[in-house]
A and B are shown apart, each in its own frame.
Chain A
Amino acid sequence: MKTRFLFSQQYKSVGWFLLIVGILLGIILMLNDFEYPTIEMPVYPLIGEHDVFSKPPLEWSKNNIIDEIAAILIIIGGIFVSFSKTKDEDEYISKIRMESLIWATYVNYIVLFIAILFVFDLTFFNVMICNMFTILLFFIARFQFMLYKFKKSVTDEE
């Protein structure tokens, strides 16, 4: 089937690998307050504040880049897993895909909505960090579950 905006099927397993490595790295970082593991690298912020807590914009400074790596792995991995074609992509699977995406968007923002009302300060910041990725994770969970149900749906052929 002709599809728009989808990667070919090979990207799916690459995606799973990147996503899992990224999530593990992210969890380790969160448990260590983003201080360990550490790889210091020069970075060049495009925007920033001029105060003691921040890196000033448009000049080189040092930064632990492990959190950036983890985030990029999760995003690229998540996109590949989400938007690679399945082995037998057809129009019904495309429909499942689109409905799962709508569902994931609702759930993601319902969770954020609840967090906005009931979570504050630094804890809310942590929720925001997770919320950057949850729309992809909710989508993957929902889509995989619906695909599983779909694959199991054929039982009554005579």
Chain B
Amino acid sequence: MKNNIKVERAIQNITQAKLAEMIGVSRQTVNAMELNKYVPSTVLALKISRIFKKNVNEIFFLEKGD
């Protein structure tokens, strides 16, 4: 699964640390998601979509093989 958290974050001008605090995870977890090293839970994905005010499937995308 891929995501464009980094892009959305840039649009909204939110740092990794700030986003991490808003969704209640460590900054490293935000970093790992942006690098596609970690697939977040549905709860976390929904929290992120709420912050960016977009649908989940506008932020997260399935890849070939998923």
Contacts and interface: CB of A to CB of B under 8 A. Distances in A.
Given A154-B16, A157-B15, A157-B16, A92 B38 contact: yes
Contact of A1 (B24, B28, B31, B32): B24
Interface range on chain A: under 10, 10 to 19, 20 to 34, or 35 or more? 10 to 19
A90 B25 contact: yes
Identify which of B15, B17, B25, B40 gathers the most chain A CB atoms within 10 Å of its CB: B25
A91 to B, nearest CB: 5
Contacts, number: 37
Interface residues of B, number: 15
A88 B32 contact: no
Given A154-B16, A157-B15, A157-B16, A93 B31 contact: no
6 contacts: A1-B25, A90-B29, A150-B28, A151-B28, A153-B32, A154-B28
